[in-house]
Amino acid sequence: MPLHIHHLTGCAPAPLAYYLKALGILRLVAEQKDPTSRGWWKDEAFHVATPLDRAALEHFFLHEYQPTPMFNPWGARSGFYAGGSEKSSRVALKKIEECSDKRFEHFQTTIRVIRSVIGDHFGNRKPEEDDEKQRLVRLLRQNVDQKSSAWMDTCVTSLAEGNAYPAIFGTGASEGSGSYMSAYMLALEESVLNRKHDEGLKASLWGLPIQGTTWGETFGHFLPAGIGGPWDFLLAFEGICQIRSEVTSTSKPSASKWLSSPFFVAPVAAAYGSSSPQDEIAVNKGKKMPGRGEQWFPMWERPLLSSEVKTVFGQGRASLRKGTARDAVSMTVAIAHMGVQQGVNRFVRFGYQQRNNLATHFAVPLGTYSVPERSTVGAELVCEILPWLERLRRVLRNAKNPPASLIRAERNASGAVMSLCERSQLKTSWQHLLLALAEIEEQMVRSHSFTARQQLRPIPPLSGGWIAAANDGSSEFQLAVSLALQTGDEKGREHIRRHWLPLGKKLPPLKIGKAFAADKRGLRKDPDLVCHGLDPKRDLLALLQRRSLQSGDHLALVGRPKYCAAPSDLAALLTGNVDLRKTLKLARALLALDRRKLGNHSFQSTFADLPAIYGLFRLATLPWPLEINGSVIPVHFDPAIITRLASGGTESLRVAGEMAIRRLKAAKLTPVIRHIAGTDDLARTIAISLAFPIDRNTAERLATDLTKTQPNRHDFRHP
């Protein structure tokens, strides 16, 4: 039998009604006509491969399609009760119940079962209280057939404390005082029973212009523009039947239960242009409540059977390394973590958000997200910060009057995570995330009272994989890593992170960064806290001066082997070709690197000629004894050198130079430089460069060059 491929241009990823319509078409054709039919997404439209040609496909829906029994006697305007508000739906339900069309036999059987349950247990009275509605739902599940029970899974689920309603169908197939079921039955009456919209079917399938007037019933949040016909409505609702919800719980007997819908998560107003804090909440009578959430709908390019599509939604629990995705950010990470599975290569993201003066909810398209071909290492790295970011987000959403600057920083970081998961191969994406994390931590310190009161935490420990992921070979990044991994001695004690953050001194060194040090007034005012993030040059000078006070024979600022600054990067720094602000921001985040989990990563040290004046001051401020050709040459550190350079000025530079020369001569190293002269900027630039560590090989070469005659290398022109 020949196979026909139909390009259903009337089915698109957005709005939501058009996406659901694609699911409905494939489900109905497969279940009622040909089970071998397959569907897939291509060129922003749905495609169906089936033995039915175009005319046969249209004939199926017009003459053979058997509507799925949908009902909501627990909600508004269901048609099962007497009353003015029920009139239109009651009339439509009666016509379906009394028609002779064989396509409605199953529907009619279901109606009789529902009427029997309502009459026997509620005296034909509409249940009003929550416990009565819950009882009705349970009785219906016990009495209707499997197909009708499956429909109920899409719109209502019973929890211990009452009914729960998946967001995709409003409040149990109702939206406020309106009823989707009332509109559904009217659409069946007009399109299937009375055949008023045969041309509308063609428009719905093939995306043709709608002839005549559009349908007057509301589409609710499925089609916010409201432009569509009853066939759009019917097929979209048939598609919803693929999206079943259930109750899940943890393995603990005492664990609370919650409603779990396929790819449904809490909302995060990030990573789309129109994002606003209002998108995460719902306002009811002036009271702010949690929003309805977001739902991510899969798209696939490989032809799938309807049963396979059902499996995709049935397994629609995006898993992380620890637990399940609970919000839009962790959803993005989970997608990157699992890679392409069952042909799903994209997700279209919808947020159920209040619009129209907060009167109704719409399914607002928030963009699409690509799925990597395979699980990425990037997702594993992001999982290191995900619990920390989720906790911060939860605190900010629940706190009263949280700092606006901290809210902005968290949203920027959330957006950076979501963007990175699509483009984890780009080094700039990783650096963007690191910069966003640094901004969060900086705002935490500035909002010290709020941070202490809410018991917020600094950036959690990061593994060495972050270095490889973000290393673009730039001087800014490599200098940031070399700066961040410094400690007070060669044994790795006294991590310099305490000069940026007030950290609890009672914590073991390996757990540093787990908590802020706080008192009753907020974060503790520690004298070691000298780097405030306002001016990068000032921070580096303050770091040097503070470490000078805590030094002995050598400067207490020791770099990590394999991660020291390369001469080429130092040369760029000295000539003003390094963005210091970016370097310090990156370093602030990289201070969270766990020194136990750096792995085997290292930098390639590219040598470059460094000015003799730098070599002079660097050799006089080494963190360990100098070694030349196996001989140990102790150059004792003088804190006054740092103090003079940091103060700036021509005279200070000259005096600091004389001190450095004396120190080297005392160690029996005779530098070729005899006198130092330069500008105020030169003095501070030299001082700033000393905050970045060098390795022993670089120090040995500097010593060799500084003690032999090379006239052309003594002059240094600072920009």
| pLDDT score, position 217 | 64
Structure tokens at 259: 């409603």
CA nearest to 542, candidates 550, 534, 531: 531
Residues in Cβ contact with 142 at an 8 Å cutoff, skipping those fewer than 6 apart:
none
| Alpha carbon 367 to its chain's center | 13
Q: Quick one: which H or E segment has residue 346?
A: strand 344-355
Decide: helix, strand or coil at residue 527: coil
Decide: helix, strand or coil at residue 436: helix
Decide: helix, strand or coil at residue 453: helix
CA nearest to 549, candidates 530, 568, 574, 564: 530
How far is 155 from 168, CA to CA, in rounded Å?
Answer: 8
Q: Quick one: which H or E segment has residue 348?
A: strand 344-355
CA nearest to 41, candidates 25, 62, 61, 59: 25
User: Model-level pTM?
Assistant: 0.87
Tokens 């650096």, located at residue: 431
| pLDDT score, position 694 | 95
How far is 425 from 472, CA to CA, in rounded Å?
Answer: 11
| pLDDT score, position 52 | 96
Q: Are 477 and 485 in contact (CB under 8 A)?
A: no
How far is 454 from 266, CA to CA, in rounded Å?
Answer: 22
Burial of 368 per CB tally in 10 Å (0-12, 13-18, 19+): middle
| pLDDT score, position 509 | 45
Q: Quick one: which H or E segment has residue 7?
A: strand 4-8
Q: HEC profile for 216-234?
A: CCCCHHHCCCCCCCHHHHH
Own/partner long-range contacts of 96-101 (Cβ < 8 Å, ≥24 apart): 96/185, 96/188, 96/189, 96/193, 99/193, 101/192, 101/193
Q: What single letter denotes the amino acid at residue 679?
A: T
Distances (CA, A) of 438 to 68, 409, 500, 516: 54, 9, 11, 15
How far is 654 from 678, CA to CA, in rounded Å?
Answer: 8
- Residue 503 bridge partners (DSSP): 516
| pLDDT score, position 252 | 35
- Residue 299 bridge partners (DSSP): 346
Angle ∠(397,402,403) on CA atoms, nearest 5: 130
Angle ∠(646,648,651) on CA atoms, nearest 5: 125
How far is 523 from 507, CA to CA, in rounded Å?
Answer: 16
Q: Are 539 and 584 in contact (CB under 8 A)?
A: yes
- Residue 41 bridge partners (DSSP): 46
- The stretches in the chain having pLDDT less than 50 are 247-259, 506-513, 709-719
| pLDDT score, position 87 | 84
Residues in Cβ contact with 689 at an 8 Å cutoff, skipping those fewer than 6 apart:
570, 573, 574, 614, 618
Beta-sheet pairing, 522-523 with 518-519:
antiparallel
| Alpha carbon 572 to its chain's center | 35
CA nearest to 704, candidates 674, 670, 677: 670
Structure tokens at 127: 């249940």
